[in-house]
Structure 1
Amino acid sequence: MLNPRQIEAFRAVMLTGGITSAAELLNVSQPAVSRLITDLQHALKLTLFERRGSRIMPTSEAQSLYQEVERSFVGLDRIEQRARDLHARRAGTLRVAAMPALAIGFLPRFVARFLAQRPRVDVSLWGSSSTVVLDWVAAGQCELGFGQTPVEHATVLSEKLPAVAAVAVVPSGHRLAEKARLAPRDFAGEPFISLGQSTLLRYRIDATFADHDVSRQQRVETQLTMIACAMVAEGSGVAIVDPFTAQEYQGRGIAIRPFDPAIHIDMAVLTSAQRSLSTLAQDFLTEFRDAVAAFRLDASL
C-alpha cells in the first residue's frame, strides 16, 4: 500500500533535486526522507532514483510518475485554496434577484463593488417584478431577493430594508424645476404620469394627493418607473418615482426634487425559510443594507 507521506517525499525530491533539500522542504531529517523513498521504491517495485557521484538523478519511470503525482497535488492545492477562499469569504456563488427599481442601476453598481474585493466570487443577477422575485426565492432559484413589501409566503422570510422616500421628477426645463422642493399643490392641473394601480407606491401617491385635495391630469399610466422617467424627460408630464430610478435619469432631461410630505417606499430582502444563508450572502446583505441607508441620506436633496 502506498503511503501519502512517501508520495510527498517523492514530490519534494523531484522539486528540489536532492534528499537534503527535500528534507528541509518537508522539515524532517535527511534519513527520514531516504527511508520514505526506499519504501516507495519497494512498494512500487520500481527504481526511481540513481546515484551519480554525490547526486541522485530521477529515472524515466520517476519522471513519468511525477507527472501523475503533480496533477494530483495541483488538484489538492486547488481544493485547499478554494477552502481558504470560502473561509475568508473571497469565493463562492450568489444568486440575486431584484425588482426593476434596484436592478436598473443601483444593485449592479453595488455588486460590482462587492466583486472587486472578491475576485473568486461568481454572481447571477436577475431583475423582475417583486412577485416574480418572490417566486424565484421560494423555488430556490435565488438565495437573495429584493422586492417591495408587504410580502407573505409560507416558505419565504421577509425583512425590511431601510425605507427610502419617493422623489418628484419634472422635465429639466419645466417651471417646477426652479423650486427646491415640491408639494402636492405644485402638481395641480399638471399632466401626471402615474404608476400601475397594482403597486403600493401608486396607492400612497394617490392617497397623498387626495388628502391635500389636489387634482392632476392622469395622462399616462405605466407599471415601470423607468418608463415614467423616460416620458418625463420627453416632456410628457411629471411624476413621482423611487429615487433609485430617478438617479439613473439624472442629467438626461429630468430634474429631481424632494417631495413633501414624504412618501416612503418600503423594500424587503427575501430569503428562504427552509435554507440558511451562506456566510457570503450574509456579508452581501449586511453591506447592501448599509448602501441603501447611505443612499437614502444622499437622495434627500
Structure 2
Amino acid sequence: MPCLAQVALLAGPAMQLRHLEVFHAIMLTGTITAAAKLLNISQPAATRLLLRAEDQLGYKLFDRVRGRLLPTREGQVLHAESERIISGLDNLRKLSRNLGAATSGHLRIAAAPALCVDLIPLAITRFRQKHADVSFEVESRQYADLLRVVLNHEVDLGVGFDIQSHPGLDIQTLAPAQFYGIFPKSMGTQLPAAVKIEWFRKHPFIGLRSDDPLGAAFSAAVKLSGVDLQPIVEVKTNQIALALVSRGAGVAIVDQYTAASLNPDLVVARPLSPRIDFTVQTLRAKHQPASVLARKFSATLALTEKTISGVLGPTDKTYRA
C-alpha cells in the first residue's frame, strides 16, 4: 500500500492530507455539499479546500457540469491511488481506537496446567463478555517451558506459581494462594475442618514431584513440619493427583485452583493446618511492553482469581463458574 509520501509525489509536493480527504469525499458523493456533510465541515470550507488544492497543484481536479463535479483525467489518476491511502488511514484510525479501548486483538497466554482448568477459562469468558472481538490462544506449560515461551516472546503473557526472579522477566504478583487437601467423598464425614500434615501419613498419599517451584514449596513446608510423607504415587501435575483421588486411589495435597475444580460427587477438599502458601504471578519478557489488551486482561484475571479463591474454606465447598 502506498504511503502518504508516495501520494504527495504523485499529486505534487503541495497536496495536504486535508486536501486529499476533501478530494476523496467529492469523488464519493459527487457534490461539494454532500462532501462537506460527509466530512462534518461547512460547504464553504470544503469549497475553499478544493480550490486551494487545485491552485497549489496547478491543475483542475474536477469539471463543473450541471451542478455536479466530474473528475478530470488528472483527478481520475489521482483517485486510483488516493482511495487506497484513505482506506489505509481509516483502518489505522480504527486500529488505534481499538488498541486504546482493547476492543479487538489477539492475546497469547501460557499458564501452569492447574490454572488452565478454571482460572484462565473463566477469565477469558468474562473478558470476552465485554470484548467480544478479542481472540485468544492458550497453552498449558510446565515451569521450564513457561519461562522459555515468555522469554522467547512466543506469548504475550505467562501465568504461573512462585516464579523465581529472572533478569529477563517482569514478574508481578497476581494473588496469594494456598494448598488444600483433597479426599475421596467417602472420607468426608471423618475429616476435621482443617487437616494437619501428619494426618496424610495414615492414608495412601499421592505426591507432587518437587522439580518445579510449586512442588518445591510444598516439599519445603512438609520438611519444616517434620512429617515424612512417602507417596504411593508421585505425579507431575495436580490434575493427575485429583484424577487419582476421584477414583479412590488415595489422598493428596494440591493447589487451591485444582481443588476448586473437583467434582463434589467424588471428592471433598479441606484447608491445611497450618496452611501452606504460595503465590500466583503473571510474567512477560522485560523488554516487551505490555499492551493495553494484556493489562486489561491481567486485571480481569485478578478479579476472577478472587472469585475462585473465595469459595474454598473450612467447610466442604466447591467452585462454580
Q: TM-score, normalised by structure 1?
A: 0.81
106, 113, 121: which one aligns with 1:108: 121
| Distance change >3 Å, CA 42–CA 264, structure 1 → 2 | closer
Query: Matches of 1:101 and 1:12 in 2, distance apart?
Result: 55
Structure 2 residue matching 1:166: 3-state secondary structure: strand
Secondary structure of the residue aligned to 2:138 is strand
Deviation at 1:33, TM superposition (A): 1.9
Structure 2: any 5+ residue segments left out of the alignment? Answer: 1-11, 316-321
Report how far residue 94 of structure 1 moved: 3.1
Partner of 1:276, secondary structure, is: coil
Is 1:153 equivalent to 2:153 in the alignment?
A: no
Partner of 2:22: 9
Say if 1:50 and 1:160 are closer, same or farther in 2 by CA, change over 3 A: closer
* CA displacement 1:218-240 (0-9 Å, x = unmatched): 22110111111111111111111
SS in 2 for 1:161: strand
How far the C-alpha of 1:150 sits from its partner, in A, is 4.7
The answer for the alignment partner of 1:262 in structure 2 is 275
CA gap 1:155/1:202 in 2 versus in 1, 3 angstroms: closer
Identify the residue that residue 121 of structure 1 maps to in structure 2. 134
Structure 2 distance, partners of 1:35, 1:210, is: 80
Q: 1:240 pairs with 248, 253, 257, which one?
A: 253
Aligned to 2:90: 77
Equivalent position SS for 1:152: coil
Matched residues in 2 for 1:168 and 1:47: separation? 79
The SS at the match of 2:170 is strand
Matches of 1:175 and 1:93 in 2, distance apart? 44
**Alpha-carbon distance, 1:169 to partner:** 1.3
Moved more, 207-216 or 81-90: 207-216
How far did 1:160 drift? 2.9
Q: Tell me: CA distance 1:201–1:177, structure 2 relative to 1, closer, same or farther (3 Å).
A: farther
- Give the gaps of 5 or more residues in structure 1: none
- Distance in 1 (CA, whole Å) between partners of 2:234 and 2:216 is 13
> In the superposition, relative to structure 1, how do residues 209 and 22 fare at CA in structure 2: closer, same or farther (>3 Å)?
closer
Aligned residues: 299
Length-normalised TM-score, structure 2:
0.77
Q: Distance in 1 between matches of 2:215 and 2:57?
A: 78
* Residue in structure 1 matched with residue 108 of structure 2 by the alignment: 95
Asked if the contact 2:260–2:308 (Cα under 8 Å) also holds between the matched residues in 1, the reply is: no
* 8 Å CA contact 1:115, 1:121 repeated in 2: yes
Closer, same or farther in 2 for the Cα pair 1:218/1:296, shift >3 Å? same
Aligned residue in 2 for 1:33: 47
Measure, in 1, the Cα distance between the counterparts of 2:69 and 2:25: 13
The answer on whether the counterparts of 1:158 and 1:269 sit within 8 Å (CA) in structure 2 is yes
**Whole-angstrom distance in 2 between the partners of 1:225 and 1:196:** 10
Percent identical pairs in the alignment equals 27
2:191 & 2:72 partners in 1: Cα distance? 85
- The 5-angstrom pairing of residues 123-272 of structure 1 reads 123-176=136-189, 180-184=193-197, 186-203=199-216, 205=218, 218-251=231-264, 253-272=266-285
- Inter-CA distance 13–213: structure 2 relative to 1 (3 Å threshold): closer
Residues in 1 aligned to 2:100 and 2:88: alpha-carbon distance in whole angstroms: 18
- The superposition leaves residues 57-87 of structure 1 with CA deviations (integer Å, 9 ceiling, x where unpaired) of 6469678875654443222111111111212
CA contact (8 A) 1:187 1:214 kept: no
CA distance in 2, matches of 1:172, 1:70: 68
